[in-house]
Amino acid sequence: MSNNKYKRILLKISGEVLMGSQPYGIDLATVGRVADEVAALQKAGAQVALVIGGGNIFRGLAGAAKGIDRVSADHMGIMATVMNALAMEGVLASRGVGARMLSAIAMPTVCETYSAAKGIYHLEQGRVVICAAGTGLPFFTTDTGAALRAAELKCDALFKGTSVDGVYSADPKTDKSAKRYDKVTFGEILTKDLRIMDPAAIALARDNNIPVVVFSIREPGNVAKVFDGTGLYTIVEKE
């Protein structure tokens, strides 16, 4: 893989990454490191759209399990993604990187409302596009939102930054015999229940022929390495 293969990237990272070593919340030093990764990816020649989860602040499913109405809980999780997106937009701006936050839920005093046309325009103008508020709807994960935005923004690949360096047959943190894949098909992800993303997100990426590149976001400098083909990653694509 090289930077000639993928020009427009949707980078999806979990909200938990922004916690750093904290038990919850936003660690601005960690946001700064991730912002540097995004800036390096852009400098390497990519147009970058970004989706950040909200699990460092609030998870809708966890809230629903504790008695909050599922729709209300999911909307709380959606608001958590907005907070993370605002933090990232501000830190990118402090580093001189042009960025625009676009929200799936209209909040005109805070940011622009998302549309594919606006997102593509900003990408073509050399700005990082931060897609906030998921799909704007309950019952959908930010992974599904990332796959949807990747399709709408005509991205060449969806980069999934995780805490492990690729796709494994089992959780490598608990199963030392877990096998690591360099390449795997969408069908294998679904039939083997490998759980790198929820099935709806995988189906969206498969149906729109968008490769999913899974790698560790926690290794400094790794995003640009994966982009130019020197990093460690697993690529998920059609057969």
Angstrom CA distances, 98 to 35, 59, 120, 202, stand at 11, 29, 14, 30
Give dist(CA 159, CA 62) in Å, integer.
26
pLDDT confidence of residue 66? 81
pLDDT confidence of residue 3? 45
- pTM across the whole model: 0.93
pLDDT confidence of residue 1? 52
pLDDT confidence of residue 59? 77
The whole-chain average pLDDT of the chain stands at 93
pLDDT confidence of residue 219? 86
Residue ranges of the chain with pLDDT lower than 50? 2-3
H helix or E strand, kind and range, residue 225: helix 222-228
H helix or E strand, kind and range, residue 157: strand 157-162
Domains and CATH numbers, the chain: 8-237 (3.40.1160.10)
pLDDT confidence of residue 4? 59
Q: Are strands 234-237 and 212-216 parallel, antiparallel or unpaired?
A: antiparallel
Q: What is the pLDDT of residues 30-50, one digit of tens each?
A: 999 999 999 999 999 999 999
